[in-house]
Amino acid sequence: MPAAALDRRLREGVTELMKSDVPPTERGQVLRVMFAVISAVDRENTEILRANLPATGWFVDTAIASDAWLIAQHSSDRELQKEVLGRLERTARAGAFNGWEYARLYDRLEMFQGRPQRYGSQARCISGTWSFGEVPSEQEVERQRAVIGWTESLEQTKMRLNIGAPC
């Protein structure tokens, strides 16, 4: 799905801007414009994904499956995300789909519904600090990750997502 390439590029631009030395006021102005564009692309991508979902199951081609997951992950359509998650669960548990991607969509839905994450995959700014919010014990997170074949440790995820750093 070529639409996913634009999704990636736009979000990479946000990441680069956040790492830059652009003053906060200017950065905020640029981010508002960037997120307006990202939101429009996400809406369009959601429609593309809805129109191209297989009748049952999930995409067989791994590149298309990963792109379709990315679109679902960034969609604001929670019903679509739930549908995609249901389609992915059996596939991910059978090892036929990337468990890391399944975990991220699962946790994103839980986070938006105010529930604890199972896999500790989604960071958000809470009281000025990057945090997972509520997650089970580290042992339980590691156990759940092992079930779906996600090999990155929670500690590695904390470092990658800057958990504990100011936001």
Which residue in 16, 55, 54, 59 sits closest to 34, CA to CA?
16
* Residue 80, pLDDT score: 97
pTM of the model: 0.85
* Residue 94, pLDDT score: 73
* Residue 17, pLDDT score: 86
* Residue 2, pLDDT score: 63
3-state DSSP of 77-133: CHHHHHHHHHHHHHHHHCCCCCHHHHHHHHHHHHHHCCCCCCCCCCCEEECCEEECC
* Residue 62, pLDDT score: 86
| Mean pLDDT, the chain cut into blocks of 10 residues (167 residues total) | 83 87 89 94 96 91 92 96 91 77 94 94 90 93 92 94 87
Distance CA 26, CA 162 (A): 23
Which residue in 65, 126, 75 sits closest to 100, CA to CA?
65
